[in-house]
Amino acid sequence: MSFASAAARRRRTTDVKVSRGLLGATGTLVVSLFLNIAAIRYDAQFHGHHEDFIIVVVLISAAFFVLSLFLVPLMCWRAVRICSMDKMDGWWWFSTPYSVAFLLSVWVFRLDVGHTLAPYFVLWMMAFASSAMWTLARTYQLAVSRTAKFSTREAVMLAPVVLLGAFWLLSWLLSLRATTGR
């Protein structure tokens, strides 16, 4: 076995570990966000003997949510720094999963963004703005660069951001329609 093949195997192992860590941190972020928003939505229905259960769910999911807010950037940094992931890909992992998950969870649980969701909404506004900037930068990069090609991977990365924009626009139009009474 040569030194080059051993180094390549170690590199692949490191890449797999960082990829799994990035997926795990992102999954933790999304699941804990959905649990928090579900607990907010159904809090009034769990009074009595189920109230302790909802408090435990809220505390555990809130702890995992805060932990994942630190883990996702850390794993993105490790993926870019150690595994030489493209910085644009790291930027996508940093902003898009939360912005898509928050909007979908608000839609699924039919919540209005009020005082209870204010911290989540502020994070979503930052993630949404970052996702929009990523989309513009990546689209420009694909249009101008002679070497970058629009691949299936690029389509998979652009699709959630485009769907996020469509969901946001549809939500805004529906809320506008509800306030005007038409």
* Model confidence pLDDT, tens digit, residues 120-179: 888 888 988 888 888 888 888 888 877 667 778 778 888 888 887 787 788 778 777 777
- Tens-place pLDDT, residues 97-121: 888 888 888 888 877 666 677 788 8
Alpha-carbon torsion (109, 36, 159, 141), positive or negative: positive
pTM for the whole thing? 0.75
CA angle 149, 153, 154 (to 5 degrees): 55
Tell the burial category of 5 from Cβ atoms under 10 Å away from its Cβ (0-12, 13-18, 19+): exposed
Q: Is residue 24 pLDDT above 80, yes or no?
A: yes
Q: What does the alpha-carbon distance between residue 32 and residue 26 come to, in Å, rounded to a whole number? A: 10
Domain count, the chain: 1
CA angle 90, 96, 98 (to 5 degrees): 115
Range of the domain at 166: 3-180
